[in-house]
């Protein structure tokens, strides 16, 4: 299989979506598929920006779109030219899309590809897939790991002007309707896409989850009970992923049961979270430990008793946080502070590996933490929350099998 993979998030830049894409391409190459990646530089906040293991095999197949930023006049001219080239869409990222399209056309002259895959974290790569597929006749798979811009739920909703809303809806409809196949990481996400764009019910759509790192790279360690009850949340917390109910639950547990515990946040400190730590007098319990390159982060996660996942308060939990896969691969018990109705709670309740608790009810969080603490005290914590079944769902073999099925449905393989 020869794949042209187009995304704005890829190694060596490592944040959540970039890691998802990089792990997927590693697995594709591991099974013998040929992959070329078109990506971009990322000057934003990343956990790492250097080519390091395990991403080094990806370096030679990664083509970074580069162009001069230019002064205001030059940028304006390039935006206009880019928009004309890309079907008239004056939207964020259209300059990158036009230059990525030029690079993709050049690669298609040099090599024969069986399929084009465009992927998150931005919606902009999909216009490249659309144009390229129409020009070359190559089958195109459009992947959406998050809601499209116009359908993000509260508290993430983009409050767009009517003009911009209509433009982006036109863009989304064009990309979704012309792809040969649509993929989402979860059924919950597919539901809201099909509700907003009912024509998707008649298209080839598949749920293909985020992928775990291929076997043999991570040095997984057997669980060793820590001296004090130790928890870790990987990733940044915020006003949306609000830890207040969790902090309140921890404060009451310490006060009522005299529990010694530590809660580390692996990510960047921010004023909002720091003020909550002060509010609940948790300065001796909750600590920011900084951000780390992926492999180092995974290694550190193995030093905790429980891994914490905090989601935003949503009426319907559409999101599939990629850290869930990392937690499952590490094999430590998970407490997911999540919407009652949503992807994470469904998976943990179905396959085990941890506890999902209502993120609107601090008493539920408190009860779950006390339950885990008691099992930790008894030395039966890991046995009580075995993640083996869930690990199988996200294994590289399982995910690659789903791509093989999709390729078969597209008549790319027999």
| Residue 187 and residue 129 share a domain | yes
402 occurs within a structural domain: yes
Same domain, 65 and 32: yes
pLDDT at 24: 98
- Buried b / exposed e along 147-165 (16+ C-beta atoms within 10 A): bbbbbeeeeeeeeeeeeee
Name the residue range of residue 149's domain.
2-214+395-409
DSSP 8-state code for residue 152? P
Quick one: 371 and 403 in the same domain?
no
224 part of a folded domain: no
The reply to whether 152 and 208 lie within a common domain is yes
DSSP H or E segment with residue 63? strand 62-65
Whether 225 contacts 383, CB under 8 Å? no
**CATH code where residue 61 lies:** 3.40.50.2000
Domain identity same for 123 and 133: yes
DSSP label of 177: H
Domain shared by 202 and 113, yes or no = yes
> Both 28 and 59 in a single domain?
yes
Based on the domain organization, do 288 and 192 belong to the same domain? no
What is the tally of structural domains in the chain?
2
List pLDDT tens digits, range 98-137: 999 999 999 999 999 999 999 989 999 999 999 999 999 9
Q: Same structural domain for residues 235 and 320?
A: yes
Query: pTM of the full predicted structure?
Result: 0.95
- Residue 248 sits in the same domain as residue 124: no
For residue range 132-172, list pLDDT tens digits in order. Answer: 999 999 999 999 999 999 999 999 988 899 999 999 999 99
pLDDT of residue 45: 66
Residue 3 CB-density burial (10 A; 0-12 exposed, 13-18 middle, 19+ buried): buried
Q: Are residues 190 and 102 in the same domain?
A: yes
Residue 220 domain-assigned (yes or no): no
Q: Which residues contact 161 (CB under 8 A, 6 or more apart)?
A: none
Contacts of 252 (CB under 8 A, 6+ apart): 362, 366
At residue 112, what are phi and psi to the nearest 5 degrees? -100, 125
With contact defined as beta carbons under 8 Å apart, do 362 and 280 qualify? no
Q: Are residues 388 and 261 in the same domain?
A: yes
Distance CA 7, CA 13 (A): 12
3-state secondary structure of 2: strand
């Amino acid at each position: 299989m020869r794949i042209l993979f187009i995304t704005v998030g890829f190694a060596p830049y490592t944040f959540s979506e970039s890691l998802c894409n990089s792990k997927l391409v590693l697995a594709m190459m591991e099974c013998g598929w040929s992959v070329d990646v078109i990506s971009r530089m990322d000057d934003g906040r990343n956990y790492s920006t250097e080519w390091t293991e395990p991403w080094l095999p990806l370096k030679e197949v990664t083509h970074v779109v580069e162009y001069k930023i230019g002064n205001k006049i030059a940028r304006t001219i390039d935006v206009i030219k880019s928009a004309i080239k890309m079907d008239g869409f004056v939207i964020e990222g259209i300059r990158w899309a036009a230059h990525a399209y030029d690079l993709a056309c050049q690669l298609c002259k040099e090599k024969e590809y069986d399929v084009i895959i465009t992927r998150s974290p931005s919606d902009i790569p999909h216009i490249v897939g659309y144009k390229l597929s129409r020009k070359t006749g190559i089958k195109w798979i459009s992947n959406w790991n998050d809601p499209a811009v116009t359908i993000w739920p509260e508290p993430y909703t983009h409050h767009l002007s009517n003009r911009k809303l209509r433009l982006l809806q036109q863009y989304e409809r064009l990309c979704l309707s012309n792809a040969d196949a649509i993929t989402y990481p979860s059924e919950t996400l597919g539901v809201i896409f099909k509700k907003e764009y009912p024509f998707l019910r008649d298209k080839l759509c598949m749920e293909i989850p985020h992928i775990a790192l291929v076997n043999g790279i991570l040095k997984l360690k057997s669980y060793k009970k820590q001296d004090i009850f130790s928890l870790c949340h990987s990733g940044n917390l915020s006003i949306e992923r609000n830890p207040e109910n969790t902090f309140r639950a921890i404060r009451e547990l310490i006060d009522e049961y005299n529990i010694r515990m530590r809660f580390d946040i692996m990510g960047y400190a921010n004023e909002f979270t720091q003020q909550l730590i002060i509010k609940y007098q948790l300065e001796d319990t909750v600590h920011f430990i900084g951000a780390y390159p992926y492999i180092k982060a995974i290694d550190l996660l193995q030093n905790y008793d429980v891994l914490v996942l905090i989601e935003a308060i949503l009426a319907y939990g559409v999101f599939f946080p990629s850290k869930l896969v990392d937690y499952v691969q590490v094999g430590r018990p998970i407490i997911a502070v999540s919407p009652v109705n949503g992807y994470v709670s469904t998976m943990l309740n179905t396959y085990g590996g941890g506890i999902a608790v209502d993120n609107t009810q601090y008493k539920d969080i408190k009860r779950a933490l006390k339950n885990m603490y008691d099992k930790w005290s008894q030395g039966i914590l890991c046995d009580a929350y075995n993640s083996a079944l869930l690990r199988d769902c996200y294994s590289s073999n399982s995910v690659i099998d789903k791509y093989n099925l999709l390729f078969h449905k597209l008549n790319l393989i027999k």
